[in-house]
A and B are shown apart, each in its own frame.
Chain A
Amino acid sequence: MIGVAMIVVGYAIFYWGLHHFKGVDCPEGGSNCRHSLVTLLALDKFGITHGAPVQYGKGS
Chain B
Amino acid sequence: MNVRNAYLIAFALAVIIIAYYDVHTCHRLPWPPRIIMTGLVFAMLDLLSLVSQELAGVIAVGVVLALIVNKGFVCTDPKKCCNIFTTAATGQPTDADIFLQSPTPGDQSTSTGGNLDLNNLPQPGPGQTLT
Contact = CB atoms under 8 A, between A and B. Distances in A.
Interface of A: 1, 4-5, 8, 11-12, 15, 18, 25, 39-42, 45
A15 B32 contact: yes
B29 A15 contact: yes
B37 interface: yes
A8 B39 contact: yes
B8 A40 contact: no
A4 B32 CA distance: 13
Contacts of B11: 4
Given A15-B29, A41-B33, 6 more contacts: A4-B8, A4-B11, A11-B35, A41-B32, A42-B33, A45-B37
A40 B30 CA distance: 11
Interface residues of B, number: 11
15 contacts: A1-B4, A4-B8, A4-B11, A8-B32, A8-B35, A8-B36, A11-B32, A12-B36, A40-B33, A41-B32, A41-B33, A41-B36, A42-B32, A42-B36, A45-B37
B33 A25 contact: no
A15 B30 CA distance: 9
Contacts of B28: 25
